[in-house]
Amino acid sequence: MFFHTVLFSLITFITGADSIGSAKKAELLFAGDAMQHQAQLDRARELGGGSMYDYSDCFTLIAPTVTKADYAVCNLEVPLGGGPDYSGYPCFSAPDSYAEALKDAGFDMMLTANNHCLDRRDKAARRTLDALDRIGLDHIGTYHDTAQRDSLVPFIKEIKGFRIGFLNYTYGTNGIMPRDGVEVAYIDRDKIAKEIALSKSAGAELIVVAMHWGIEYVLLENGVQRSLAEFLIDQGVDLIIGGHPHVIQPMKVVHNEKEDKEVLVVYSLGNLLSNMKTADTRGGALVRATIVRDKDGKARFSHADYDIFYSAKPDGPGSNFRVIPSWMPEHIPPAQKAHWQLFERGATRIFDKHNVNVPRRHP
């Protein structure tokens, strides 16, 4: 491992980053929690004719923005448990076609370390990983066992010539613990520090850590989140992406003085798609982070921007739950415009007041 890291650095130093196939910049996109409540299951089954589950229209409006990014990530907050007994809250289990629709929309990676990953116990957690492999989606956060975690971490993805390490952790699993050896990446500072160091020694130029943390339905981060973010920054992380509260929370670019670099901290991206009902849960945000190579060939996080979207409910026969970007208000069902406006105003108020150097920008 050390030899390969040194060799990679030596080649970069001698030849220059561009001459070994690296681009000067790349864009990463992150979106929030992909939920699957019972009403979503019922509508997808109805549209699928009763025997299949059809999600083909759920992400079509957001897909051009997702596919435009060089790599796109979201939190899959449902096990893919296999049929026929799929279920919504409180113990989720969704069909594989839900993840297939996310891939068709342009997402490249699913985060699986979240509080619902063990809803259908070890068997479904393992099946989820196998299904994502079959579909062709990258995934991190849960593993068949500790041996697989040891073999797959660090996860380093080459994106336009940038070698980016991705890690994912959750605060817990709703009190359900693994019974048959499934490995869940829980938030453990010693383990996190070790895996960040492993990622660096394996040649990761930038580190992205996705955290499932915070308090549900609270629009501002708490002290625990801030403390963990500071810990991750001290470990040299470049992007910190949060989820779990099911509402948006602020985004900030902060300076790591020790390493003289900027770090993106996103406390919560809210929901990507759900059937949640309160105004603040009716949508979420996406954030686009640009990484660059400086004049010395060093990879750095450069800047980020965001926009928001609405999780619309079906508005008639043949319609499904849909992610509707804020820049496409003409697609908001008339009966849901008031709900959209409440979500839009609430999210905008939080971001305008609390974001630091992460502006809003329509694609």
What was the pLDDT predicted at 115? 98
Closest CA to 166 of 346, 322, 289: 289
Nearest to 168 by CA among 272, 239, 98: 239
- Tokens for 206, please give them: 């930038």
Pair of tokens at residue 304: 């980020």
Which of 11-20, 85-94, 286-295, 322-331 has the lowest average pLDDT?
Answer: 11-20
Average pLDDT over residues 247-257: 98
Q: Which amino acid is at 315?
A: D
Cβ atoms of 322 and 58 closer than 8 Å: yes
The amino acid that residue 279 corresponds to is A
Q: What is the pLDDT of residues 172-227, one digit of tens each?
A: 999 999 999 999 999 999 999 999 999 999 999 999 999 999 999 999 999 999 99
> Which candidate, 163, 153, 105, 198, places its Cα nearest to that of 291?
163
* pLDDT tens digit sequence for 4-34: 444 444 434 333 444 334 579 999 999 999 9
pTM score: 0.93
Residue 277, helix vs strand vs coil: coil
Helix, strand, coil percentages (3-state) for the chain, rounded to 5, are 30, 30, 40
In tens, the pLDDT along 94-131 reads: 999 999 999 999 999 999 999 999 999 999 999 999 99
Over its C-alpha atoms, the chain yields an Rg (Å, rounded) of 20
